[in-house]
Chains A and B, each alone.
Chain A
Amino acid sequence: MVTDHQKDYLTGLRTTLSVVLYPIQAAVDLPRSGGNWLKETFSSRQQLQEENASMRAQNLLLQSRLQKYDSLLAENNRLRELLDSSSKVNENVLIAEILSIDLEPFTRRIVINKGDVEGVFLEQPLLDANGVLGQVVSIGAFSSTAMLITDPSHALPVQSLRTGARAIAIGVATDNQLKLNHIPNNADIKIGDVLVTSGLGGRFPVGYPVGTITDFVIDPSQPFAKVSAKPTADIEHVREVLLVSNAPPTFNFDATIAEQPVEPDTISTESNNSNTDGESSNDEGSEQ
């Protein structure tokens, strides 16, 4: 156990065992996938037509947005070239499906039906249509396990879209929420602020939406504000996920550790890096 916790020697054993056990996972998933298959096979012509029409409309909408995006992308790249910056926006995406099985009850993890064979790699970011979902933590041959951003041992460097202030978003075990630790009481926060990935640490691509701030409590007797956010990704209901690879090279910042699944003790030092606010570090001192 100590070996598994601290070193990587047992990955091979875990991978082998997970291949042996994959049939059980697939069997448990069978009712849902079979149900979907039945629904698709026996759905009526009219239903299909309606669905087709609505999808076509949506596609048109997305196409028009994409045109705008393309021109913006070109412009962005041109401007970056002018600035001689190395960061380029190009990402490959692999679509995976979530197996409907329950895992460890106190963590937020999911199993997806793509593994080593399809080219999934460790620490690969996971997105859905609306935002960041999590990252891959262990890989089997045909399936892999991903940790969601709402897992209590997951910390994700984020940035407020409005103010540009950086923070670390940590999962909350009991419900579908994120909390931002070590935000000073005088920080500029508003309910409804959108948080995006800051890309510090280089594991997640920059600029993907993470959540919106739903609540914050400022208690003068406490050194930090209590800020909670709701993930933009539809974590509870999502079925298909996007696995992003070839993330653009990001800045080498010493907050790398922040994106690994961290233990609660190590978080405080991390977020001091991101809130480079004199007051916050003072408060940190008085807290200890």
Chain B
Amino acid sequence: MMGQRGSFTIILSFAAALALMIIPLPSWLVWARPDWLALALIYWCIALPHRVGIFSGFVVGLSLDVIRGGLLGQYAASYAVIAFLAIKLHRRLRNFPVWQQALTVFLILILGQLTTLWIKGMIHEPVPIIYFWIPSITGLLLWPIVFLVLRFIRRNFHVQ
């Protein structure tokens, strides 16, 4: 990953997404916080599959685990799954119009969350089941914005 153009930009975008994941929100909005980190990860997997992949997903997830203080590895696993799916589908996703991309991203997010839910279930961490899925829906709605912003960044800084 190092030595190529724009590694710094990619890392910075992940850091910004990580900051958005822990920025305090009013309590009625907490449940709806979209998974910014997963959205950024999916974007980079689609745009640069040769540079950002499952391992990057794992590392990014691990940092989220540490920063949120949960079980070490739950997000790492789910982000690895997300990165795998995004890499697998990247050729198709590139040709989709944005709304169709958003639907696919929604499915990927759901599968990623399913992984987290499964792990949380194994360690008996109580999860309010309805609220748990809201981030996927907000992710679906916000995907076009994330996509356009990150594409602008990628083109502007010539990340290849």
Q: Which residues on A are within 8 Å of B, measured CB to CB?
A: 1, 4-5, 10, 13-14, 17-18, 20-21, 24-25, 27-28, 32, 100-107, 109, 111, 137-138, 145, 152-153, 173-174, 263-265
Contact = CB atoms under 8 A, between A and B. Distances in A.
Interface residues of B, number: 33
B23 A152 contact: no
A105 B30 contact: yes
Interface of B: 15, 18-19, 21-25, 30-31, 33, 62-63, 66-74, 77, 119-120, 123-128, 131-132
Given A24-B18, A25-B22, A4 B71 contact: yes
Nearest to A19: B66
A103 B21 CA distance: 8
B69 A5 contact: no
Contacts of A106: 120, 125-128, 132
A101 B34 CA distance: 16
B126 A21 contact: no
B73 A1 contact: yes
Contacts of B33: 102, 105
A90 B81 CA distance: 51
A100 B67 CA distance: 13
A5 B33 CA distance: 26
Contact of A13 (B72, B74, B77, B119): B72
A153 B73 CA distance: 19
B122 to A, nearest CB: 8
A138 B62 CA distance: 15
A14 B15 CA distance: 17
A57 B15 CA distance: 47
Contact of A100 (B24, B70, B74): B24
A13 B73 CA distance: 12
